[in-house]
Amino acid sequence: MATAPIDWRARAAELRFDGRAVIAGQRVAAQSGETFDCISPLDGRVLTSVARGRSADIDAAVASARAAFEDRRWSGQAPAARKKVLIRFAEKILAAGPELALLETLDMGKPIQYSMAVDVRSTANCIAWYGEAIDKVYDEIAPTAASALALITREPMGVIGAVVPWNYPMIMAAWKLGPALATGNSVVLKPSEKSPLTALRLAELALEAGLPEGVFNVVPGYGHEAGEALALHMDVDAIGFTGSTRVGRKMLEYAGRSNLKRVYNELGGKSAFVVFDDVGDVSRAAKTAAGSLFFNAGESCNAPSRVFVHAAIADEFTAIIQAEAPKYAPGDPLGGTAEIGALVDDTQMQTVLGYIAAGHSEGATLLTGGQRTMQATGGFYVEPTVFAGVNNSMKIAREEIFGPVMSVIRFETEAEAIAMANDSAYGLQASVWSDNINRAHRMARSLRAGTVHVNQYDEDDITVPFGGFKQSGNGRDKSLHAFDKYTELKTTWIRIDAR
C-alpha cells in the first residue's frame, strides 16, 4: 500500500524549538541571558531565539566535560558498552528523522527530501559505524627482545572541542562525535550560529540513548565569542574544526596562544574536475559535474567548482552543462521535489552574487543563471550559474564561492591540465575523466588532493578518509583513521626478568 506523502508544512507548523544550550545533561539558557535570532533562509523569518553562549558558558561546558572524563563515567566503560550506547543513539536519530530533517531544512535551507535521505541517514550511519568499530580495533605489541614487553596503546585525549559549519550541520558534527565519543572522550560542540538547532536536538537524543551527562555538551553562539573561547580554553585537549581556511588559521593561532592543543582543520576547497577528449561518455561527465556542483546549492566543501575540459570536446560539454544547469533551479525546500533550496542566509547570498559580478567584470562568459530568484518568498535563492571562457587566474577560479557557480576552463594538453588543476591553494578533491587507463592512473597520482575520483564524483562512504592537502586542512575525518585524531598513543615498557 502506498503511503501518503508527508505534509512538511503542516509538520513545520507543529515543530517546537528549544534554543537553550545542553551542558552537564541539562537544557540551560546562556549565563548572560542573551539570545540571538535564528533566521530561516526559506523566507527570512525568525524561527526561534537561541542561547548566545560566551566564555562563561564554554567554561561551564568544558568543566562538565572534564568532570565526566576524570570520573571515567564514559571513558571507563568497556568498548562493547560504549558501542551499545552509540548504536542506540543512531537508532534514536533515525527515529527522530523527520523532526531532525525539518529542523535542518528550516535552519539552513536544503531540500527536505535530502535532509531526510542524506543528512539524517549519514549522521545515524556515522555514529553507528564508530560504535560498531570500537570493540573491533586492537592495540599493538612491539617486536622487542624477550627481556621486555612494549605495549603501544591508544588512550582517549580528554576533552574535545568541536567547531562545525552550517552546510551539513548534523553530518559535520557526527564526523567529530563518532570517533571522539567511541574512543571515550568528552565533547563540547559549538555549532554554527547559522544552523544550531539540530546539534541541540542531537545532544538530547544522546542522553536518551544512555550517554552519561556531561559527556556531550552543546554551546551555541557566535564564532568570535563561543568558538574563540572554546579554541582558547586551557582545558580543551584538541579542536576538531570544520570550516573556512580563514578561521582554520585562527584555530592554529588560538592553540599557540593557549595550551598547544591539537588542531585538526578540515577546510575549504576549489576542487578540479578534469575531462579529457578520450572520455567515453561526454554526457555522463557533464551531467555528473553539474549534479555534483549544484547539489546542496554548491554549499559543499568538495564541490567541483573548477571544471577543466579538453578543447576538442569543450563546445559539446558546455552545451550539455548549459542544458543541465536549469534542472537545478531552486524551489520550495519543503515541497519535496526541488533539487536545490535556499542559500543559508542573506550574507552568503550576497557573497555568491558578488562572485557572479566578479565573473562578469573579469570577462568570463555567462552561459546560464546569474540572478537571485524567488524574491517573493523573502528567502535567499540564487539560480544555478555557469561561466565559460574562464581562466585559472580569475577570482571565480581561485576563491571558494560556496554557492551554485561553475567555472569552465579549457585546456589542450595533459601537462597543462595537471598544472592548472594543482595551481590552487586548496587540495580537497579532484576528478579525472578518461577512458585511457594509463592516463587515469597518471592523473590520479599527479593531482594534489585528498581524494581523487576517476570517471565519477559522487562515490563516498564512511569507510574512507575525507580531508585535504595544502590549505584544505590536515587530519582526516571518517574511516578508522579518524581515531588517530582523538587518541594519544602511549608506550608502556615492562621488564621481564630471566628465570
Place of cell 571507563: 76
Are 189 and 231 in contact by the 8 Å Cβ rule? The answer is no
**Part of the chain binding ligand NAD (CB under 6 A), chosen from 47-55, 106-114, 352-360, 470-478:** 470-478
Q: Give the whole-angstrom CA distance, residue 62 versus residue 233.
A: 8
Q: Does 236 bind ligand NAD (CB under 6 A)?
A: no
Find the helix packing angle between 197-208 and 169-182, rounded to 10°.
40
CB of 73 to ligand NAD, least distance (A): 27
Q: Does 109 bind ligand NAD (CB under 6 A)?
A: no
Beta-sheet pairing, 405-411 with 306-310: parallel
The three state secondary structure string of 400-444 is CCCCCEEEEEEECCHHHHHHHHHCCCEECEEEEECCCHHHHHHHH
The residue among 227 and 304 lying less far from ligand NAD, judged by its C-beta, is 227
Which of 159, 164, 170, 309 contacts ligand NAD by CB under 6 A? 164
Q: What is the DSSP letter of 227?
A: I
Per-residue binding string, ligand NAD, 179-218, x by CB under 6 A, is -----------x-xx-------------------------
**Part of the chain binding ligand NAD (CB under 6 A), chosen from 30-38, 224-232, 353-361, 368-376:** 224-232
**Part of the chain binding ligand NAD (CB under 6 A), chosen from 144-152, 243-251, 281-289, 367-375:** 243-251
Q: Does 57 bind ligand NAD (CB under 6 A)?
A: no
| H-assigned helices in 36-120 | 55-70, 79-95, 97-108, 112-114
Which of 38, 162, 172, 285 contacts ligand NAD by CB under 6 A? 172
Which of 53, 179, 268, 370 contacts ligand NAD by CB under 6 A? 268
Q: Does 228 bind ligand NAD (CB under 6 A)?
A: yes
Q: Does 104 bind ligand NAD (CB under 6 A)?
A: no
The residue among 106 and 313 lying less far from ligand NAD, judged by its C-beta, is 106
Q: Does 53 bind ligand NAD (CB under 6 A)?
A: no
Q: How is residue 370 written as a grid cell?
A: 546569474
Q: Does 167 bind ligand NAD (CB under 6 A)?
A: yes
CB of 160 to ligand NAD, least distance (A): 15
Q: Does 301 bind ligand NAD (CB under 6 A)?
A: yes
Say which amino acid occupies 280.
G
Q: Does 267 bind ligand NAD (CB under 6 A)?
A: yes
Which of 88, 233, 250, 478 contacts ligand NAD by CB under 6 A? 250
For the beta carbon of residue 201, count every other beta carbon within 10 angstroms.
21
Which of 165, 341, 359, 379 contacts ligand NAD by CB under 6 A? 165
Q: How far is CA 168 from CA 171, 295, 446, 455, in A?
A: 5, 12, 30, 25
**Part of the chain binding ligand NAD (CB under 6 A), chosen from 74-82, 241-249, 273-281, 356-364:** 241-249
Q: What is the DSSP letter of 219?
A: -
Helix (H) and strand (E) counts in the chain:
16, 23
Are 368 and 418 in contact by the 8 Å Cβ rule? The answer is no
* Residue 118, C-beta contacts closer than 8 angstroms, at least 6 positions apart: 171
Q: Give the whole-angstrom CA distance, residue 68 versus residue 72.
A: 6
Catalytic residues: 266, 301
Which residues ranging from 357 to 416 are in contact with ligand NAD (CB under 6 A)? 400, 402
Q: What is the DSSP letter of 225?
A: I
Which of 69, 114, 166, 380 contacts ligand NAD by CB under 6 A? 166
Binding site for ligand NAD (CB under 6 A): 163-167, 172, 190, 192-193, 223-224, 227-228, 231, 242-244, 247, 250, 266-269, 301, 400, 402, 428, 466, 468, 472-473, 477
